[in-house]
């Protein structure tokens, strides 16, 4: 009887999740990469040092490190600081080690 109950729970879970799209890592990386590229260019246009500004944003969590030019601040808000840091470290490791 216990196995039927567990099987039913799994079946219910599968049904509930059938329409949930889980982005695959390539799509996720290109989304983050696209945002980073756009934000980087916007910061250059405004005369900021993008590397210093992004580091300040990651370290402090203060969104004012990111310019609002071309909606860059809103774009960066779509990426959690953890995601951003993970992407940067993965890129460094994959391209330098």
pTM surpassing 0.75?
no
d(CA 38, CA 32): 10
71: alpha, beta or left? (left if phi > 0; alpha if psi -120 to 50): left
User: How many angstroms separate the Cα of 59 from the Cα of each of 20, 43, 56, 77, 85?
Assistant: 33, 18, 5, 15, 10
- pLDDT tens digits along 3-22: 555 556 666 766 666 665 54
pLDDT in tens, 24-83: 555 656 888 899 999 999 999 999 999 999 999 999 999 999 999 999 999 999 998 888
| pLDDT given for residue 9 in this prediction | 67
Q: Rounded to whole angstroms, how far apart are CA atoms 79 and 77?
A: 5
State how far Cα 96 lies from the chain centre.
21
């Amino acid at each position: 009887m216990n196995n039927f109950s567990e099987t039913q729970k799994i079946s219910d879970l599968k049904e509930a999740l059938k329409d949930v799209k889980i982005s695959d890592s390539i799509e996720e990386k290109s989304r983050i990469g696209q945002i980073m590229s756009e934000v980087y260019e916007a910061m250059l246009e405004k005369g900021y040092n993008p590397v210093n500004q992004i580091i300040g944003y990651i370290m402090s969590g203060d969104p004012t490190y990111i310019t609002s030019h071309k909606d860059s601040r809103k774009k960066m808000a779509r990426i959690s600081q953890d995601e951003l840091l993970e992407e940067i470290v993965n890129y460094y490791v994959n391209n330098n080690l």
